[in-house]
A and B are shown apart, each in its own frame.
Chain A
Amino acid sequence: MNEALSYALPGIPYGCTFALVAIGLVLSYQATGVFNFAFGAQAYVAAVAYAVMVRHGLGRGIAGALAIVVLSPLLGLAIDRLVFSRIPSGNVAAKTIAALGLMVGLPAVVTIVLGPLQEAAPPSLLFDVNTVVLKVAGTPIDGVQLATVVITGVVLLVLTLTMRLSLLGLEMRASVESPRLLRLQGVSSQRVTSLAWIVSSSLAGLSGVLLAPRYATVSIDNYTVLLVAAIAAAALAGLESMGVAAIASIGMGMIMGLTTGYAPAGSVWSTGLLSAIPFVLLLGLLAVSPRLRRLGQSSDPLAGVDPPGVPVLPPERSHVLDRSLRVIGPVVLLLGALSVVTWLPASWVFVVTSGLGLSLVFLSITMITGAAGQVSLCQATFAGAGAFTAGQLATSFGVPVMVAALAGGLVAAGAGLLAALPALRLRGLALSLATLTFALLADAIAFPTSWIGGPPSGLTVPRPTLGPINFAADSTRPFFVLVLLVVVVVAVLVRRLLRGATGRGLDAWRQSPLAAAGLGYSPNKTKVLIFALSAGIAGLGGGLWGSLLQVVSPADFTYADSLLFVVIVVTVGARSVAGAIEAGVGFALLTHLAGYLPNRLSPTSVVAVAFSIGAFTYAAHPEGIVEQLRRQATTAIDALVRRAAGTTAVAEVRGSST
């Protein structure tokens, strides 16, 4: 018993660290209606700012105050005004995608501003991390831990009282339920929401600064780990009660303490299982709790009366443009492909091929996010499953790599089926959380296992040989042709699905599940098949991509890649097959081009920022930037055509009158 206590007790301050974040998640959800995936990134920004100011000799108090009371509120205000205030309250998918964009973009901005080197941990704001302040049942409690526990308690008390008892709290909750109703009551819902963002962002800043000394460096990864544990706790509380979220966090901290104590030390299972506990809890909860399944669904009684947005541009494209694209498109593509095969330098051939491989993974996002309207956050995991299967089969069992890649697709499809089981009952935000959990579980437990993810040095995925053609030849040209063929075949199939009964049915289901079912449309079988198919495509893409790289490791297929992929595809265009391919090749080319930027600017971050800004436009242009440009071109071309026609008509009239 004493032993158990001595394992569980240190879990309490540990639990408090993510309790603070969990409270923040519940607060921002209650007060702004956004499930704020970017909360960890906001905390990270404040922590970095604090660390930099202290390093430059500013006092800890002043630096902390500047970070928490000035910078964080401004960041919150900016996020609200620039991003979320432009998204209609009922559009859950757009909110989720914008938050993901911030989650990807904010750390990238920090990297661009400060350079790629990570800040060393700053000294603690309140107490020292190395001082043992007191001992509880023989367990030493250091300064940061004590401060965390105390501040968590105070924050919880103040916020709960504010949200429950004050008029402001009532207004915040009302503005989430229905901003229109609140406006009808004569309250500016915009002001209330901005205030809510300021408060929740300050809380993010507080947790960021407070927790920074716990780690060796100030790194976004630490805050992401905190965030996902906090997500589990916040979900446990149904995103409703900050108190329950805090208690759940502390409970989880204690369970994690116990697990560390009793699990055999050193095995992947002990470390993996430890980090997996919150996810397992979350996944189980999502499966059984009907309240969690409804997470994030709009309850605005006036949502139905939302006037349709003014159609800025016609959804149709100009026939002139369409016809010319139909001619010019293939010609350009053919010329492009020919250039790659003949004269393009080898490094560029590699880039284009990797873009094509990626576009297969992106096509899987087109199916789920574009057609079914659901945000899946584990597509990179499926790609990884495919790549690792291909590598293991090819290296350990001597299976030809193309067969192995197809098998990888099948294994990934199997994983997709597994992920689809909870997805059957979930949609919207709950589905996104479940898939994120699935990705994190794979990152923590499955991929680090050597018979899956290969040795630490990386898993070899050889290039294929096909009769006399050796695709491993020093140039990537033959392999490019192979990947291109696969992409074309898959693209045609996905296009048929989207244009056929499946795509139309999913479209109907996305817009009104009730009416779709009433028409005789059964979403479950289709959802499972779509999940499995898209996972299979991602797996095949992963296998080919791995074969291009020739060595893969778990670091190539993390949850963070899944997030970035979704952001990229949505930005470029998730509704069409062309969008996925443009996104894949475009991303590869942009990243390569950004390599020519001065290193100081950290090129990959520039690309990440560009795409995350693009993700903010999802609410206004769900069709994506490329399609959006085409429609803009349509209006321009139509105007030109009309003007040309108009002038001839006028000329004819004049001609007849003279």
Chain B
Amino acid sequence: MTDRRRGEGVSRRGFLKGSLALAAGAHGIGPWVPRAAAQGPGAPLRLGFQVHRTGIGAVYGRWYDRTTAAAVKLINERGGIAGRPVEIVAEDDGTDPRRGAEVVEKLARQHKVDLIFGTLFSHVVIASAPRAGELKIPYLVVSEGYHVASGKLNRYVFQPGITDVRAQVTAVAPWILKNLGRKVTLIFPDYAFGHDHRDFFSRVAPAHGGTVQALIPIPPTETSFTRYFPRVPADTEVLYHVMVGPGVLTFVKEMGEHFGSRRPQIFGFVDSLEGVDLASPGLEFLEGTYFWEGFPRYLQPNAPDFIRFYRERVGVNDQGASVSDPRDVSTFAHMFGCWETLFVIKRAVEQSGYRTPGPAGYRAFIEALESFSSFPEGVEHPQGAKRFVGRLHQVFGHQYISRVEKRRLNVIHRTAIEDSMYEPEADYTKQPL
């Protein structure tokens, strides 16, 4: 979509203030005519936003969209980036790897954006990243996949706004084993996201005295899970689940039907319930179970002002749903990544003196980004303080563990940033630019 955030709650005026009205004139030009990008001082900084508006990622896409709009509005109100207003050029990738790569090309070559950000689903990231590398344009993903830090991608790909699965598992595994039980059975979808959990949890558990009793991979496209629960060994103390996709409510219900009151401790990743109201019928069974959260969905009593400010700007109520429609539940544990990524972009652009697309500008931008080591908590990083490892292109941060109490998630533990750090396997800074 080439609309600059039409009808997504933020008026165009909010984006283009003052002198930027100039740029608005170019809006109507069709796809065949590359916009005459005026790149003088004060011309907008144009950020390509690869977003899942259709396909399986649409729930996330909708909220990534809103969070991005809110962050950009704030940045522009406060004078833009390096004095330049920010303009978002969004394109839907249909959560499809082929279209994803095409979108990267379109943003880079047709819209001639300054850089690209915002992708979530890891197969789209992995199919798009090589194109970003070939086109030599910075590509900042908000995916939580362990692909950036694994070293599989390239020098142009960063994940500065959200932590990766490996870090999440590394941080919460010791807590699970210490507090919930040592014999763990994993239920996970039989694709990459599930495999990351399988691999990293199995790797971390023995060091903390845990054993994995059984691994139960669930094939994709499964709509009923009843037959898998009998595979959970009877001596399981903790059931660890990471089901994602529209089938998750069925999963929870059937889990409830299977175990009834004789259930083991249950620990899940809130990824499964992003966009789903915890008060939904059928989720009663989750009462008293535990969840990882990237960022607490329900407003916590002691939340600092910058968290309240963030929620208000994005338009999220205390239950983590849209202020205009309480049934419209956000993907709160992930979408902050877009907000934080935009502020990292701001910092990197301003520090590097980046002005125009091209090898020199990108070199400065990338080297500035790689030189970062930490971000303080606050309005720009509401989820909490972060540590950035330049050679991995990956950020590390706090993780939250919450308990379902009276149909809301209450935080009972916040891990330290060090808890999530692991031995780095990659070094992108050695790759040529």
Partners in one complex: no
Which residues of B line the A interface, CB within 8 A? Answer: none
